[in-house]
Copies of this chain bind each other. A is one copy, B any other.
Amino acid sequence: METIRKVNLAEKFSLIHERRSPKVAGELNGQHVKLVKMKGEFIWHHHDDEDELFLVVKGKFVMELHTGNIEVNEGEFIIIPRGVEHKPVATEEVEIMLFEPVGTLNTGNILNDFTRDTETI
């Protein structure tokens, strides 16, 4: 049986030096827990088959949506359903915990310089 370990979010975030590159911190029920640091504007994209949860661990960001922008602060989460175009924007560095299915691409339907392979941390 695999060893069960707890994960300390602050400790894991301290190991992340590249922004916009989600790192896998846990896996359960076919879902990944990912940690990502972000600053600046991401790109407009959507995920065809995956809903995505963003929980702000530190800082804040704005989720731009075609229906209006939503500021997500520390201790808040937002769920973006599959198919919904979104663009995260952070004026200052923000630490975000993501829940999404294994295999979710960070840039969704777009492949560009922001696209990253998923690595474990």
Q: For residue A27, which residues in chain B have a CB less than 8 angstroms away from its CB?
A: 79
Residues of B within 8 A of A70 (CB): 4-6
Q: How many copies does the complex hold?
A: 2
A57, CB-defined interface residue at 8 Å: yes
Question: How many residues in A have their beta carbons less than 8 Å from beta carbons of B?
Answer: 39
Q: Within 8 Å of chain B (Cβ to Cβ): is A81? A: yes
- In the complex, the answer to whether B28 meets A79 with C-beta atoms within 8 Å is yes
B77 touches A50 (CB 8 A): no
A29: B residues at CB distance < 8 A: 31, 50-51, 100-101
Nearest B residue to A57 by beta-carbon distance? B75
| Given A28-B99, A29-B31, A29-B51, A4:B79 Cβ within 8 A | yes
Tell which of A7-15, A38-46, A108-116 binds the partner: A7-15
* Partner-B contacts on A (CB < 8 A): 1-10, 26-29, 31, 33, 50-53, 57, 63, 65, 67, 70-73, 75-81, 84, 99-101
Please list 5 pairs of residues, one from A and one from B, whose beta carbons are closer than 8 Å in the complex, sorted by A's number.
Answer: A6-B72, A9-B76, A10-B75, A28-B100, A29-B50
